[in-house]
Structure 1
């Protein structure tokens, strides 16, 4: 299982001098030293690397150990000490304090822009070019969420892709919806109420407050854009957002906001065996590929299917795409052994067998074309859905921004007010979100 949380604590701005303190000699950096001649495995000197990552369960840690072991078959002279359960704020503070690890991996892309702009993570472009790595092996969307302002300061490790899960028993032979109008009709057909009109089974919950229904995950259903070319907010001017929120509000009003809220608040925890989809209380949900692994572990008898998310009726070209983001990995400024660290980053992010090992254990999408097509990759029809979504040319991500978390929270807060009926003027509300985002952008230096 993997999450892509909003790492609110990690939005702290990082000063440009992140790897040095008064009187301390700056650590070596990538490209600052001549590359060793001969094969890298023979020429690189011995070193002990510190690798920090956010994975913490036994299965996750074991998968990382196996991927590192395959690295050690190439570089026997390099020892890797992995520290589990590390969050973005810890990485940021370590870099600022001159105690950076050699390699760091993050669950979220929320801080890539800040890390790239500040130089907290080193630009990998020189060594990517020097080693002749063709980044076209990655879908363009994965390249997009790992770089900012021309700096490729991270590489994708594993990805999350979002689609539709549906309960086949509750669907009673119905096919998964392809458009928002089909989703609305099927939601109404599958919803069950008691004699008082209270919801017993929901066809689909459109509320932004429900589990994975964040603005970034919902936006691709209508092709919504977050930013203009100059980095300012496009939410108030892009009609796709208005289309999405109008559809959302109409379906919530059909349920009855208060009735839907009572039902939602009575549902089980998202990360437990009491998940309402497992219990047949919700027929269709928006969720990530990792939910397949949770179903296999917590709801073995569940008969379910997966499909791409429904899309706006006037945008059939979007069907098959969705939202993606994922784990990123890079070399922080201040790494003691940057050349050896780069070899580890390169191995973990581009080696097919390593990516397949991690994907099979963690059930996230591997990020290179070769790893997605590997015969060693464990997959069935329900997992293949997410491989296809990730590879779709119109799959999108949240564009990098130094205020990524703030921007998402501002939009989510407005959507919660809108669905409740506390923001009657949709146009004015969306323009208000623009103002919040643009004001924050000015404070952050653009």
Structure 2
């Protein structure tokens, strides 16, 4: 739920210059079976979120009665980073974004968990491949997954009038035009689908991969000019914006309600179809319980119809920071919370997120609405993908998003090829500065 704010903050953490990787710290502090108190920092702050975390943690106290857990809510990546730099970190830290994993792993700000994993004989194959990817950087695994987010298509059944959800971008475009309603002056009353990256979760990282876009080359360089999928995505984006009229799009965006409030335009019936995360089911349940809606995987480009079913996935991550005073007990906590099916299901039910292990995905104790099944399937689908980690976080995503929003959508770019080549150079220069 807090992904947007976390994503935009991730690019500026600057961890690499301030932290240096340490050695094996898995034997640090008291033994795990000694009596001790560990401090755990997490980002959840709303009362129901805090209670959900407490409920998920309760089982750990029963299996580890010697370890008292002190939970500290509402913590940000910036606070975590400052505590690590200052040499006074908590024992366990978690983050809503995976975008900083490359920085944390490369710098050693979050400990390499390989020694802990080996001692615990933990089977990493209980996590889907994309999850294994976003919790490590170049072979260093410094994070574990704690619940996940999967993205799919939400559609308003009343506005759809019996139409099936689109499977390809061509079908989406046709249906979006058919379902759009305008005032006589062209103002958008109901948007069939709003293609702009400024529409909440319609960010580039959630839509471009549906065209097959690969963010980085095999040697870790920017791939915007070299991968025709980016051009295909941008041309699709602009064609639908041009059909609406850019000024009409801007006016509609200005009129939108808050993403995480009942004024959200999808919940109000002002948008027929939208890409969103699984958490929207929980919001609809609480804010718009009478809304008749369905969910489906996000459409893919017409030339990739066989890959339909996958989508963008990411998740909350948790780890042990460098300098943790109770490292062994901290790992026991991380191990429990990220692999215990009961804890994950309890947490997922309360927050409306996807459990991050394959066993938890099939638990009969999941009590989520039927529309949630789509996101469990997307999460398991081999065609699902995530954004690769880098030493400077999500800088390449931020740059591409800014280009799309500020230059491409308003029609300021004539020749796309040189513009993407220039963007590649800027991204690569920034990666070099970060040691990538």
Same structural fold, with TM-score higher than 0.5 when normalized by the shorter chain: yes
Partner of 1:3: 3
Q: Distance in 2 between matches of 1:13 and 1:252?
A: 36
1:434–1:10 distance in 2 versus 1, CA, 3 Å: closer
CA contact (8 A) 2:8 2:398 kept: no
Which string of whole-angstrom CA distances, capped at 9 and with x for unpartnered residues, describes residues 371-395 of structure 1?
A: 1111111133310100000110110
Partner of 1:359: 348
Q: Distance in 2 between matches of 1:57 and 1:27?
A: 37
1:15–1:437 distance in 2 versus 1, CA, 3 Å: closer
Q: Distance in 1 between matches of 2:17 and 2:415?
A: 42
CA contact (8 A) 1:109 1:327 kept: yes
CA contact (8 A) 1:308 1:321 kept: yes
TM-score, reference length from structure 1? 0.94
CA contact (8 A) 2:146 2:356 kept: yes
Mapping 1:198-209, distance limit 5 Å: 198-209=187-198
Given the alignment of the two structures, is residue 445 of structure 1 paired with residue 407 of structure 2, yes or no? no
SS in structure 2 at match of 1:274: coil
Mapping 1:425-444, distance limit 5 Å: 425-444=415-434
Mapping 1:209-288, distance limit 5 Å: 209-288=198-277
SS in structure 2 at match of 1:178: coil
RMSD: 1.9
Partner of 1:108: 97
Partner of 2:388: 399
Q: Distance in 2 between matches of 1:266 and 1:69?
A: 43
Partner of 1:374: 363
Q: Which consecutive unaligned segments of at least 5 residues does structure 2 have?
A: none
Q: Distance in 1 between matches of 2:280 and 2:40?
A: 27
Partner of 2:26: 30
- Report the CA distance between 1:11 and its aligned residue: 3.1
SS in structure 2 at match of 1:86: coil
CA contact (8 A) 1:28 1:338 kept: no
Partner of 1:422: 412
- Report the CA distance between 1:18 and its aligned residue: 4.7
SS in structure 2 at match of 1:282: coil
1:440–1:28 distance in 2 versus 1, CA, 3 Å: closer
Given the alignment of the two structures, is residue 12 of structure 1 paired with residue 1 of structure 2, yes or no? no
- Report the CA distance between 1:406 and its aligned residue: 1.8
SS in structure 2 at match of 1:208: coil
CA contact (8 A) 1:19 1:334 kept: no
Which string of whole-angstrom CA distances, capped at 9 and with x for unpartnered residues, describes residues 122-162 of structure 1?
A: 11111212211110000000010000021110000010000
SS in structure 2 at match of 1:6: helix
Partner of 1:23: none
- Report the CA distance between 1:7 and its aligned residue: 4.4
CA contact (8 A) 1:215 1:408 kept: yes
Given the alignment of the two structures, is residue 71 of structure 1 paired with residue 26 of structure 2, yes or no? no
SS in structure 2 at match of 1:390: helix
TM-score, reference length from structure 2? 0.96
Partner of 2:78: 89
Q: Distance in 1 between matches of 2:176 and 2:157?
A: 14
Partner of 1:322: 311
CA contact (8 A) 1:348 1:355 kept: yes
1:304–1:241 distance in 2 versus 1, CA, 3 Å: same
1:268–1:15 distance in 2 versus 1, CA, 3 Å: closer
Given the alignment of the two structures, is residue 291 of structure 1 paired with residue 280 of structure 2, yes or no? yes
1:178–1:86 distance in 2 versus 1, CA, 3 Å: same
Q: Distance in 2 between matches of 1:9 and 1:327?
A: 13
Partner of 1:182: 171
Q: Distance in 2 between matches of 1:381 and 1:375?
A: 13
Which string of whole-angstrom CA distances, capped at 9 and with x for unpartnered residues, describes residues 173-192 of structure 1?
A: 00000001100100010001
Which string of whole-angstrom CA distances, capped at 9 and with x for unpartnered residues, describes residues 88-107 of structure 1?
A: 01101100000111000100
Q: Distance in 2 between matches of 1:421 and 1:16?
A: 38
Partner of 1:140: 129
SS in structure 1 at match of 2:263: coil
1:73–1:440 distance in 2 versus 1, CA, 3 Å: same
Q: Distance in 1 between matches of 2:14 and 2:181?
A: 49
Which string of whole-angstrom CA distances, capped at 9 and with x for unpartnered residues, describes residues 29-52 of structure 1?
A: 21468x96xxx6xxx101100000
CA contact (8 A) 1:27 1:334 kept: no
